Copies of this chain bind each other. A is one copy, B any other.
Amino acid sequence: MTNGGRHLARAEIIAIGSELLGSARLDTNSLLLSERLATLGIELRSKTVVGDNRSEVAEHVRRALDRVDLVILTGGLGPTDDDVTRDAVADVVGRPLVEYPDIVERLRQRFARRNLQMPDVNRRQALVIDGGIVLDNPNGTAPGQMVDVGGKLVVLLPGPPRELKPMMDALVAGPLAERVGVERLFRTTLLTVGRGESHVEELAQPVYSKWLQLNPPIETTILAAPGQIELHLVTRSADADAAAAALTHARDELLAVFGPDVFSTDGRAMEEIVGQLLLDRSLTIAAAESCTGGLMLSRLTDIPGSSAYVVGGVVAYSNELKTGLACVPPALIEAHGAVSEPVAIALAEGVRSKTGASIGVGITGIAGPSGGTPQKPVGTVAVAVSSALASPRSRLFWLYGTRTMIKFQAAQMGLDMVRRLLQEPVSGR
């Protein structure tokens, strides 16, 4: 069956399940599938969630087959009447469902191993679209299926992630790998911090617009995410080395423009970058956080192994704790206000001396929605870094958005000031 089929270049994913259309659940299987497709160089063009409705599933499969050459369906392979995926695809390809006796037998044995008799409804799971290939499911009752439709492929996978994942991995290792062309997708990502989206666009556009004339061209997308602006570079090529070289060259052009505003070129998050820098230099970190309420330390400790460099610190939400736990002189708060660079510096120095960490970070600000003043509106945040590497430094930021957005960005700025400090060329100091 894999002979004579066309090369698979473009895919769509269709997740089936009415529960995925509610307000509580998302189709997360598509994240895994998207990653696996990218590895194969197959472009994911769209993904859809449809309810458990036979004719609607059929309609979406039909449309997808008009547009792409690989359609991956997930879910709807259970034993009940609600599970319509098999029937819907059979309708689309105009072939009958055939009961496979060996699947029935395997299902029976699976139930018998638990001293259960197989309910008769489970025979539905042994129905295979005529001419389809059965995909083994070591972790559940529903086998998958793969059907050739005029050189295009429709793949039916079960919904539970632990059943879907090994099945997709087997497909990626075998049948799908045999069907991809020599051209693959290659990508690189630059994460920047410190400039707004339109500013990044303005600086990047003259650089990346030239890349569209390359052969093969490199396409660039700019995305604004909380606390960072991302530049995604993608090219399609049959020559892995040439593609890698072209992307590296392109990346370096952007690095020359953005300099230290680029904090990650391999997709790693800010907390991971900072963690690695600390680890590389055997430094430790502590923080005294006010408006972020512990978020910066929580993000740092999301990274496995962070106990090697995170000492801990203080959440000084009240002014009493700022003076009591973080050693900020009360007079300083009176003179400058709790949200000020001098207080941020006192927090950073206080927590560093109190914990003995190599680096201390202080964050104080107004996360809102209330508490702002004309002089210090909601989003005003002072951040400071204290270390033995340089004299203390502080900055005042005006961040925007909701309370949680301001918290996230304030933590991001704290981490970023540490990163910039650690990435500076070592002076003769």
Contact = CB atoms under 8 A, between A and B. Distances in A.
Interface of A: 17-19, 21-28, 30-32, 34-35, 38, 44-53, 56, 59-60, 63, 67, 78-80, 82, 119, 121-122, 162, 197-198, 201-202, 221-223, 225, 230, 232, 267, 287, 289-298, 300-302, 304-307, 310-318, 320-321, 324-325, 354-356, 367-371, 401-405, 407
B318 A311 contact: yes
Give chain A's interface secondary structure class. Answer: mixed
Copies in the complex: 2
Q: 10 closest pairs, A vs B, by CB? A: A294-B294, A293-B301, A23-B35, A312-B317, A294-B297, A312-B315, A294-B298, A295-B298, A312-B321, A48-B48
28 contacts: A18-B221, A19-B230, A21-B34, A21-B47, A23-B31, A23-B35, A24-B223, A26-B28, A26-B30, A46-B48, A46-B60, A80-B222, A121-B201, A293-B302, A293-B306, A294-B295, A294-B301, A301-B407, A304-B403, A305-B370, A307-B318, A311-B318, A311-B321, A312-B318, A313-B315, A314-B325, A324-B354, A324-B355
B48 A47 contact: yes
A321 B310 CA distance: 11
A267 B415 CA distance: 33
A401 B307 CA distance: 19
Contacts of A30: 26
Contact of A401 (B21, B53, B56, B162): B162
Contact of A34 (B22, B31, B63, B324): B22
